[in-house]
Amino acid sequence: MKILVDADACPVKEIIEDIASKLKIPVLMLIDTSHILTSEYSEIISVCKAPDAVDFALINRTKKGDIVVTQDYGVAAMALGKGAYAIHHNGKVYTNHNIDLMLMERDIAKKRRRAGERIGGHTKKRTSVQDKQFAEEFYRLCRMAKDGSSY
């Protein structure tokens, strides 16, 4: 069992490493070559900057029972398909029960944007409350994965 992180824009890398080190779970942080990342705990894997290169490298290394941290619903769906666990950096756990709806909503939003509709707005600064929510859910997910439980 290991934790794989789509680390390019991940705001919770330190939380992941803190919890993983306490639970003695290895971490792979995947980035593209336009990013620089160092870690004393995680293995850093740098891949080419091609579109979706990090996503494919991450999924190719994912095995059943692993934990994937990503904000990409498509990556989460592929991880779930391999029998892995998946969590968003906001603490939302992706499951086989919610991923189809999330993918459908993403597709609808994409179609609306293509039609010229402005969706969303300014991204708000991350708060300590969000970090706490992520840490709690991530810890719970790590414990479940170590026990082999399902979500």
* Block mean pLDDT (10 aa), the chain, length 151: 95 97 98 93 95 95 97 93 96 84 71 78 80 97 90 67
What is the chain's percent helix, strand, coil content, to nearest 5?
Answer: 45, 15, 40
Written as six digits, the tokens of 73 are 């619903």
Domain boundaries, the chain: 3-147
DSSP conformational letter for 124: P
C-alpha to C-alpha distance for 139 and 108, rounded to whole angstroms:
32
Handedness of CA 71, 77, 82, 88 (dihedral sign): positive
pTM for the model stands at: 0.88
Written as six digits, the tokens of 133 are 């929510």
Place of tokens 């894997």: 45
Q: Tell me the three state secondary structure of residue 100.
A: helix
Residue 151's pLDDT is what? 67
According to CATH, the topology of domain 3-147 is Rossmann fold (3.40.50)
